[in-house]
Chain A
Amino acid sequence: MRHGTSLASGPARCLVFTGLLLLFALGLTAACNRGQGPEDEFRIGLLLPLTGTPSMATSQRAAEALVARVNAEGSLALGDRHLKVRLLVEDTGDRVERAMAAAVRLIRQERISALVGSYYSRDALPIAGVAELNQVPLVSPSASTPALTQGRNYIFRVCLVDTVQGRIMARFALGDLGLKRAAVLYDEADTYSSGLAHLFCEAFAAQGGQVTVQEAYSSGTTDFAAPLARIRASGAQVLFLPNFPEDLARQLAQARAAGFSGVFLGGDSWDVDRRIHALPQAQGAFFSSDFAAQSLRGPLRQEAERYQEQIGTPLDKNAALTLDALGVLLAAAKSVGSVDPVSLRAGIASLSGYEGFTGKLTFAGQGDVVRSAHILAIEGAQTHCRRELAPAQ
Chain B
Amino acid sequence: MTGFIRKSLVARLVSTYLVFSLLATACMGAATYLAGRAFLRQAAVERLEAASRQKETDLALWVEERLRDLNFVGATASRELSGRSKREPHLLEHLQDFQAAQPDVREALLLAPSGGRVLLSTEASHVGGYRANYHFYTQGRQGPTVQSVYPAPESLRPILTLSVPVRSASGELLGVLAVHLSLEPIDQIIRSRAGLGETGEAYLVDSANVLVASGRTSGPGLGRQAHTEGIHRALAGNSGQGLYLNDAGVPVVGVYRWLPAYQMALLAEMSQDEAFASAGRLALAIVLVGLAVAVGLGLGAWVLARRVAQPILAVTRAATKVAEGDLTARAPVLTRDELGNLAKAFNAMTLDLSDLYSRLEQEGRERGAILHNSFDGIALAEPGGALVYGNPGLMRLFGYSVQEVSSLAALADRIFTSPEDRQSFVVNLMADMAQDDPPERVFSFLHRDGGQCWCRMKVSRMPGGRVVINAQDVSALKVSEERVRHMALHDPLTGLPNRQLFADRLEQALRRARRTTTGVGLLYVDLDHFKGLNDAFGHAHGDRVLVETALRLHACVRESDTVARLGGDEFVVVLPDLAGPRDARAVAEKILEALYAPEVAEGTMFLGASVGLACFPEHGADQDTLLGRADAAMYAAKHAGGNGYRIAGTLPTV
Interface residues of A (CB under 8 A from B): 1, 4-5, 7-8, 10-11, 14-15, 18, 21-22, 25-28, 30-35, 93-98, 100-101, 104-105, 107-109, 120, 122-123, 125-126, 129-130, 133, 187-191, 217-221
Contacts and interface: CB of A to CB of B under 8 A. Distances in A.
B182 interface: no
Contacts of A190: 130, 132-133
Given A4-B12, A18-B27, A108-B225, A219 B115 contact: yes
Interface string B224-241: 010111001001000000
A109 B251 contact: no
A82 B229 CA distance: 30
B207 to A, nearest CB: 5
B115 A101 contact: no
A201 B308 CA distance: 115
Contact of A123 (B16, B34, B133, B251): B133
B565 to A, nearest CB: 94
Contact of A97 (B6, B20, B134, B228): B134
22 contacts: A8-B15, A10-B19, A11-B23, A15-B22, A15-B23, A18-B23, A32-B227, A35-B232, A95-B134, A96-B153, A97-B161, A100-B151, A101-B150, A104-B151, A105-B209, A109-B208, A109-B225, A130-B151, A188-B130, A189-B130, A189-B132, A190-B132
B243 interface: yes
Contact of B115 (A26, A94, A221): A221
A211 to B, nearest CB: 22
A217 B134 contact: no
A96 B136 CA distance: 10
Q: Which of A4, A28, A125 has the most CB of B within 10 A?
A: A4
B156 interface: yes
B229 A33 contact: yes
Contact of B134 (A31, A96, A104): A96
A130 B15 CA distance: 70
A187 B251 CA distance: 55
Contacts of A187: 115, 132
Contact of B210 (A8, A108, A120, A189): A108
Given A31-B229, A100-B153, 15 more contacts: A4-B5, A11-B19, A18-B26, A28-B251, A30-B229, A94-B133, A95-B135, A98-B135, A100-B150, A101-B149, A108-B225, A109-B207, A129-B156, A190-B133, A218-B117
Contact of A35 (B22, B206, B227): B227
Contacts of A93: 135
A11 B16 contact: yes
B133 A96 contact: yes
Interface string B542-569: 0000000000000000000000000000
B207 A105 contact: yes
Contact of A219 (B30, B116, B228): B116
B227 A1 contact: no
A32 B242 CA distance: 13
Contacts of B7: 4
A187 B112 CA distance: 14
B208 A101 contact: yes
Given A30-B251, A108-B210, A219-B115, A8 B134 contact: no
Contacts of A26: 33
B214 interface: no
Given A97-B150, A219-B115, A221-B115, A25 B136 contact: no
B149 to A, nearest CB: 8
A243 B528 CA distance: 192
Given A7-B12, A27-B243, A101 B229 contact: no
B121 interface: no
A108 B208 contact: yes
B5 A8 contact: yes
Contact of A8 (B6, B136, B228, B229): B6
A105 B151 CA distance: 10
Contacts of B225: 35, 108-109
Interface string B314-352: 000000000000000000000000000000000000000
A7 B16 contact: yes
B84 to A, nearest CB: 23
Nearest to B276: A26
A32 B243 CA distance: 11
Contacts of A218: 112, 114-117, 130, 132
Nearest to A93: B135
Contacts of A95: 133-135, 138
A190 B130 CA distance: 7
B224 to A, nearest CB: 10
Contacts of B117: 188-189, 218
A382 B263 CA distance: 45
A11 B206 CA distance: 54
A5 B5 CA distance: 9
A95 B163 CA distance: 15
B19 A32 contact: no
Given A27-B243, A95-B133, A187-B115, A108 B6 contact: no
B644 to A, nearest CB: 112
B426 interface: no
B640 to A, nearest CB: 115
Contacts of A34: 227
Contacts of A35: 209, 225, 227, 232
Interface in B472-490: none
Nearest to A105: B208
A97 B115 contact: no
B147 interface: yes
10 nearest A-B pairs in the assembled complex, by CB-CB distance: A218-B115, A11-B19, A126-B153, A189-B132, A219-B132, A189-B115, A189-B130, A104-B208, A4-B6, A97-B150
B244 interface: yes
Given A14-B23, A129-B153, A221-B115, A32 B135 contact: no
Contacts of B245: 30, 32
Nearest to A34: B227
Interface in B81-135: 112, 114-117, 130-135
A152 to B, nearest CB: 14
B209 A108 contact: yes
Contact of B209 (A4, A94, A109): A109
Given A11-B19, A33-B229, A218-B114, A25 B33 contact: yes
Given A25-B33, A129-B153, A104 B210 contact: yes
B650 interface: no
B197 to A, nearest CB: 20
Nearest to A35: B227
Nearest to A17: B23
B570 to A, nearest CB: 99
B403 interface: no
A4 B153 CA distance: 78
B2 interface: yes
B133 A122 contact: yes
Contacts of A109: 207-209, 225, 235
A26 B153 CA distance: 47
A35 B229 CA distance: 10
A101 B227 contact: no
Interface string B185-222: 00000000000000000000011111000000000000
Contacts of A94: 133
A14 B27 CA distance: 11
Q: Which of A14, A15, A30, A190 has the most CB of B within 10 A?
A: A30
A220 B132 contact: yes
A30 B244 contact: yes
